[in-house]
Amino acid sequence: MTQAGSLLAPLLPLYLRAVTVIAGGKRILDGVNLTLTTGARTIVLGPNGAGKSVLLRVCHGLVRPSSGEVRFNGPERIDGRRRHAMVFQRPVMLRRSALANVTHALALAGVPRARRQQTAEEALERVGLMRLAGQPARVLSGGEQQRLAIARAWALRPELLLLDEPTANLDPTATQAIETAINAVHAAGTKIVMVTHNLGQAHRLGDEVVFLDAGRVVEHVPMSQFLASPGSAEARSFLRGELPWA
């Protein structure tokens, strides 16, 4: 898989040009221009209703823009396997074992049977879930399910992993395990784009920030710069709201 990938044009950068999404008469995304390049871990920040989740879904192809263009540098699929994957806020687990959730995802992606077991086990190993491989996925804790979701996505060896608030509703220990898993995926060469509400997490995990407000990209800057000296009134107001003690 990796070899086939290296012969093809890399998936990234991802270009969004004047992307607008209108749903129910509301402009969820309003002329978004954004280029996401490989490497840096990108954190998407913004107030509720800014369009963060929809932005991720547009990138992943789950939501079609009403107008504008979403274009990857390279082909989105290799042998039927998608080159970008997504982890949702609420992990959706099939009524199968943890391991079978991963092997089934590989089967759907067209990975030959002979390779599924080993690939799935590697993925579980990477997020520290190997000892729970035989457990039914739905009886795992919320944090374990989310790590399993990351393993399931990572098993597909995506070049881009989109995560939509993966640690919402999780306790600090589970959150830390998720962050470790995300960093492991990043270390293996996958571009991370993540929505979060948690500024501490953004600071820990993010190299750069895409700040959304009312469906527009207001800032796209390095994390340190964003936190130290936000360039826009919207971002300053957002940071004040999120850091009431500052």
Chain residues that interact with other proteins, rule: CB under 8 A: 60, 62, 77, 80-82, 85-86, 88, 92, 94-96, 104-105, 108-109, 136, 138-139, 156
Phi, psi values for residue 210, rounded to 5°? -110, 115
Give me the half-sphere count of Cα atoms (radius 13 Å) on the Cβ side of residue 153.
28
Cβ-based nearer residue to other proteins, 11 or 156 = 156
Task: Dig out the tokens for 57 from the structure.
Answer: 């879904």
Minimum CB separation of residue 105 from other proteins in Å reads 5
Residue 244, number of CB atoms within 10 A of its CB: 6
- Taking the complex as a whole, how short is the minimal distance between the CB of residue 102 and other proteins, in angstroms? 11
Least distance in Å: CB of 162 to other proteins?
9
Cβ-based nearer residue to other proteins, 140 or 174: 140
Maximum alpha-carbon separation in the chain:
55
Residue 44's nearest CA partner among 222, 195, 221, 241 is: 195
For residue 218, give both structure tokens.
């207001």
For β-strands 216-222 and 208-213, DSSP reports them as antiparallel
The answer to whether 151 and 133 have CB atoms below 8 angstroms apart is: no
Whether the ω angle into residue 91 lies within 30 degrees of 0, i.e. cis, is no
Is it true that the peptide bond before 112 is cis, omega within 30 degrees of 0? no
User: Nearest distance from residue 95's CB to other proteins, in Å?
Assistant: 4
**Beta carbon nearer to other proteins, 64 or 244:** 64
Choose between 18 and 139: whose C-beta lies nearer to other proteins. Answer: 139
Least CB distance to other proteins at residue 223 (A): 27
Assigned token pair, 183: 């960093």
Nearer to other proteins, 164 or 234 (CB): 164
Measured from the CB of residue 72, what is the shortest distance to other proteins in angstroms?
15
Bridge-partner residues for 209, per DSSP?
Answer: 43, 221
- Cβ closest to other proteins, residue 81 vs residue 126: 81
